[in-house]
Structure 1
Amino acid sequence: MRELVVLGTSSQVPTRTRNHNGYLLRWDGEGLLLDPGEGTQRQMIHAGVATSQISRICLTHVHGDHCFGLPGVLSRMAVDGVEQPVHLHYPASGEETVRALVAVAGRSVDLRLCPHGAAGEVAEGLDVVPLRHRVETYGYRLREPAGRSLVPERLAAAGLSGPAVGRLQREGEVDGVRLEDVSVPRPGQRFAFVMDTAVCEGADELAEGADMLVTECTFADDDAGLAAEYSHLTAGQAGAIAGDAGAGLLVLTHFSSRYQDVTPLVSQAQAQADARAQTGGTRVVAAEDLDRFGFPRRRALKQ
């Protein structure tokens, strides 16, 4: 299963309808908890998400609305008896803050601290790229390797079925039939997570070719001055990033409490995404607390 569970969508302060940040990405057998803000433990209960599903926790930076939920989540994992190792990824400059948060929770969870201080792969298929904010901040990208999809008609024409198909996938050739003869290229899926940042090359790099792109959208276009002052994105800027990158689905989140209705922000982002679209167009949605987003269908396969 590949699914994004939204646990909170508010920036800086929660509102009556929005909790602080928090997102759980289910990616096959892994569960990545991203930027758990205050109240994440309770939101997980509302969302029906068990702590046993968490294998990694990823912090973009150490501002409170992106990490103050960490002690509660770790404490709950201890209560629930979670036994698997949990890797905690975070910017190296936030070491003191992270260690303080972990200390509050105690150390009864097998937590592996994984600080990073530069762009690169921090786990298999998981990359970090620096963003531009008021403190050291990194976005995350999870990528699946490209592969091949079998074509039933080609398999039948080649006389392959049953165990022979499994052998073909493992070995690449069976009885003179090559895997590429009976399959088509399958592009790997990509997920990108871009939180607190001004427009920068890092955001563009993370968004490139993403099937699902989650970005902050703290301000409306009319408040571009505030966005620049605090190093955040406007709705239009988020849409432009997605359109330029050819992202499939843009999920907007991290809204300022000044906006009770974020429908205009979606319109602003969609307009810019459409204007900058490279291929296929980008669909823009606004996340609400406890929303679930399945991954879009794979891109069209090249014959």
Structure 2
Amino acid sequence: MPPTHKSLWAVHSAVFLFGLTALFSKLIDLPALEITLLRSLFAVLALWAVMRWQGEPLGLRVRQDYVIVLLLGVLLAGHWVTYFHAMQVSSIAVGVIALYTFPVITVFLEPLFHGERPHWIDVISGAGVVFGIYLLVPEFHLNDTTTQGVMWGILSALLFSLRNIIQGRYFNHYPAKHALLYQILVTIVVLLPFGSAVIPQVSAVQWGQLLLLGVVFTALPHTLFAFSLRHFKAKTASLVACLQVVYATLFAAWVLGEWPAMTTVAGGVIVVTAAMFETYMAGRRR
């Protein structure tokens, strides 16, 4: 199989697994923080084993990189916890759609790191996302579960955007697996004081689910996605990644019976279209 075909299979497989990851927010009967902590334990062991097997170096090059990866790990921990919590308080469709506001959030945040202003066309995309979110939340009320899901999802998107911007600017000289290994280690350290009390209460079935989530649905898709970047541009892989919303919503409906309302579907189409457009435009600008 040609390398480009392998990369194509890798990126689609990764996005498919990312979409299935959302189901575990409902299937594992644990709070989002504890799920994130325990999935991270299995994910970091899997990544460490793969890197050792491939003979990749594990250390960082300069001391400053340890400070940067500490910040990246804190942002990743916050992103994972808020993403799973968004789906737990509302629905998988609402949580994952709210998360995919991150490409538009990125185009507004990234210029701040370069002393630039967003392009006028980005403002139009932002307005489209606001309208899409409005369709998700027809009645804004803090006691409404959909409102809560959207707010937590947008917070997750904000943390994810910051993490991606900082990693791309200050930590892009490391392979993706290397960067992810350290960030998950930081995630474990940050969350362990808050989630360790639940460990003795985790059942055998839940340990099996967490093992599956950490290895098959965390370490594996991140590795596949990193592999795809060897032959694809980041823009192309990111456009394919927007299919995560479709996969997550379809499997939530099929497995959990969470059928989205038509307004949710319409809002999701608008948000994902804006995400794909901004990803495409970002690739052209680079």
Q: TM-score range with shorter-chain normalisation?
A: under 0.3
Greater Rg, structure 1 or structure 2?
A: 1
Q: Which has the higher helix share?
A: 2
Report the TM-score, using the length of structure 1 for normalisation.
0.22
Higher relative contact order, structure no. (Cα contacts within 8 Å, ≥ 6 residues apart): 2
